[in-house]
A and B are shown apart, each in its own frame.
Chain A
Amino acid sequence: MAHPHRFGLGLRKPHYADFLEAAAPVPVDFVEVISENFMVPGGRPRDILRRVRERHPVALHGVSMSVGSADGVDRDYLQRLRALVDAVEPLFVSDHLCWTRFGDFQSHDLLPLPYTEEALRTVCDNVDAAQTALGRTMLIENPSSYLAFDRADMTEWAFLDALCARTGCELLLDVNNIFVSATNHGFDAHAYLAGIPAARVRQIHLAGHSRGETLLIDTHDKPVPDPVWALYAEALARVGPVATMIERDDAIPPLAELLAELDHARAIAALRVAA
């Protein structure tokens, strides 16, 4: 089934006034928020989300579900997220292919998984539990990573393909993360795009990165670079119309700059449709 092209932005504090107080709604098809920032009992954050939701469809993007935890997902976390889902009726609910928690330790970072059969079973069990608790299909995002484990049984894209097949989950494809991880680990980004289950991709993230001493770092503090735009065009050719958004988390520019980047995504998508 074909999905519509949609173009959105992540909601960040410097842009609250643009989204809430301008006479005309910001020209986006959806807004993505970080779920955890709004999984609170009340106060201004929930009021802001309610008002944004009155103007735009909202996607919930999480960073702490930890679907890769060997000791399972946190039921209390899922209950909090379910309450937010029920209140927002989001376009998508997503989190990352990673782990952030083990036992009582919360790293609050997106830590890498070994792509083994054991890890696949763990992630499938956790995604099943999450989808049951949330009463809906989740989108799982490919992470940037800085460490690859020697003992992997499969590639990241084969892991995602199997995850989708076993759990029915869908994908949030972060094109910048593919570029960063491909560069860091020396795999072929084109093979990655060819290997993912294209029909399961519902959303795309576009972002920038930084160059560390030996590795690319997924910093989300720069405009989308040309190689990522090129990979985006290639991804669109593979997955077809899809919801696309610019993800900027640091060095956040005026909203107009991000809207201009989003227009660039629209132009690339229009060219793909024409082709």
Chain B
Amino acid sequence: MRLAALQADFGRWLRAECPDAATRLGGGAGLDVYLNNYRSQLVAALQSSFPQLQRWLGETAFLAAAARHVEASPPSAWTLDAYGEDFPATIAALYPDDPECAELARIEWALAAAFTTPDLAPLSAESLGEVQWETARFAFMPTLAMLPVTSNAAALWQSLVDGTVPPAVQRLPAPGAVLLWRDGFNPSFRTIEQAEATAILQLEAGMQFGALCTALADAHGEAGSAAIVGGWLGAWLRDGLLAALR
């Protein structure tokens, strides 16, 4: 058997326990060792990436979800650390009526991803002294992540980390978002309302700051919109979410 055929067969054995492939590989106890190593390592990677989700679901349910994911989603990334990227989608499929489960998983994954993002200096408040606000365009940190949420999953995650009794699951009055970033070496997050999430997306798409204020003034008046946008901008600067003027 050529090397490529052997490796294709080994892959079939690990992914699907294909008996024909096992026969061609010569069978034996060694194949079971590799199969066990493969599966147990992937499950361990998911346990390592989603400790709070495991607490929330309970070990039995988590391991069942992990086994389902290992069977359906063989790894393709160069690093085992990336294996959990699609696990929130598996959780969403397994718990369609409990969106907080997948949202908890997405938050946990995004926080872990933020842990190793590039070391970049954010825009400082001092550098905004001469800015022409009407035409200013902002770039957010490339390491900023924003996840849509419909539940209080962020509060659930925090209580699980803190070891306190989690609050009751709640649907948000309106869909919102969770902002996630790295603050120094520590991942950080906060929940925001849809209006702020929309503003961030608009600015990211190149909208001028003045145009954002004008758009909000239609609904909130000039003074109201200035207060709202000023509050957002202050928080973005405080949290180090802005990368540059562009």
Contact A215 B29 (CB under 8 A): yes
> In the complex, A33→B78 CA distance in Å?
17
Interface string of A114-127 (1 = CB under 8 A from B): 10101100100000
Q: What residue in chain A is nearest B187 (Cβ atoms)?
A: A43
Contact B33 A42 (CB under 8 A): no
Interface core residue of A36, A42, A46, A217 (most chain B CB under 10 Å): A42
Contact B29 A107 (CB under 8 A): no
Interface string of A91-124 (1 = CB under 8 A from B): 0000000010111111111011110101100100
Least Cβ distance of A60 to chain B in Å? 14
- Interface residues of B, CB < 8 Å — how many? 42
Contact A147 B28 (CB under 8 A): yes
**Contacting residues, chain A, for B34 (C-beta < 8 A):** 109, 111, 146-147
> In the complex, A116→B7 CA distance in Å?
14
Partner of A149, one of B26, B41, B117: B26
Least Cβ distance of B79 to chain A in Å? 5
Q: What residue in chain A is nearest B74 (Cβ atoms)?
A: A105
**Contacting residues, chain A, for B26 (C-beta < 8 A):** 147, 149-150
Interface core residue of B14, B30, B42, B182 (most chain A CB under 10 Å): B30
Interface core residue of A44, A151, A184 (most chain B CB under 10 Å): A44
Q: What residue in chain A is nearest B77 (Cβ atoms)?
A: A106
Partner of A146, one of B11, B30, B42, B77: B30
> In the complex, A212→B31 CA distance in Å?
13
Q: Is B15 part of the contact surface with A, judged by Cβ < 8 Å?
A: yes
Q: Is B3 part of the contact surface with A, judged by Cβ < 8 Å?
A: yes
Contact A108 B41 (CB under 8 A): yes
> In the complex, A83→B45 CA distance in Å?
25
Question: Given A108-B42, A213-B29, A217-B33, A43 and B3 touching (CB < 8 A)?
Answer: no
Least Cβ distance of A107 to chain B in Å? 6
Contact A64 B116 (CB under 8 A): no
**Contacting residues, chain B, for A47 (C-beta < 8 A):** 185
> In the complex, A109→B25 CA distance in Å?
17
Least Cβ distance of B67 to chain A in Å? 17
Interface residues on A, range: 35 or more
Q: What residue in chain A is nearest B5 (Cβ atoms)?
A: A70
> In the complex, A64→B78 CA distance in Å?
7
**Contacting residues, chain B, for A149 (C-beta < 8 A):** 6, 25-26
Interface string of B1-19 (1 = CB under 8 A from A): 1111011101100110000
Q: Is A253 part of the contact surface with B, judged by Cβ < 8 Å?
A: no
Please tell me which stretch of A2-10, A71-79, A168-176 contacts chain B, meaning at least 4 of its Cβ atoms lie within 8 angstroms of it: A71-79
Q: What residue in chain A is nearest B3 (Cβ atoms)?
A: A70
Question: Given A41-B117, A42-B118, A76-B78, A215 and B33 touching (CB < 8 A)?
Answer: yes
> In the complex, A30→B238 CA distance in Å?
41
Contact A118 B2 (CB under 8 A): yes
Partner of B116, one of A42, A148, A214: A42
Q: Is A69 part of the contact surface with B, judged by Cβ < 8 Å?
A: yes
Interface core residue of B2, B4, B33 (most chain A CB under 10 Å): B33
Q: What residue in chain A is nearest B39 (Cβ atoms)?
A: A109
Least Cβ distance of B129 to chain A in Å? 29
**Contacting residues, chain B, for A214 (C-beta < 8 A):** 29
Q: Is A145 part of the contact surface with B, judged by Cβ < 8 Å?
A: yes
Least Cβ distance of B156 to chain A in Å? 25
Contact A119 B29 (CB under 8 A): no
Q: Is A39 part of the contact surface with B, judged by Cβ < 8 Å?
A: yes
**Contacting residues, chain B, for A113 (C-beta < 8 A):** 3
Q: Is B76 part of the contact surface with A, judged by Cβ < 8 Å?
A: yes
Q: Is B75 part of the contact surface with A, judged by Cβ < 8 Å?
A: yes
Contact B14 A107 (CB under 8 A): yes
Q: Is A87 part of the contact surface with B, judged by Cβ < 8 Å?
A: no
Q: What residue in chain B is nearest A101 (Cβ atoms)?
A: B78
Contact A36 B80 (CB under 8 A): yes
Least Cβ distance of A82 to chain B in Å? 14
Q: What residue in chain B is nearest A114 (Cβ atoms)?
A: B6
Contact B116 A45 (CB under 8 A): yes
Interface string of A42-70 (1 = CB under 8 A from B): 11111100000000000000001000111
> In the complex, A150→B23 CA distance in Å?
13
Chain B residues in contact with chain A, CB under 8 A? 1-4, 6-8, 10-11, 14-15, 25-26, 28-31, 33-34, 37-38, 41-42, 45, 74-81, 83, 114-120, 182, 185
Chain A residues in contact with chain B, CB under 8 A? 36-37, 39-47, 64, 68-71, 74, 76-77, 80, 99, 101-109, 111-114, 116, 118-119, 122, 145-151, 184, 212-215, 217
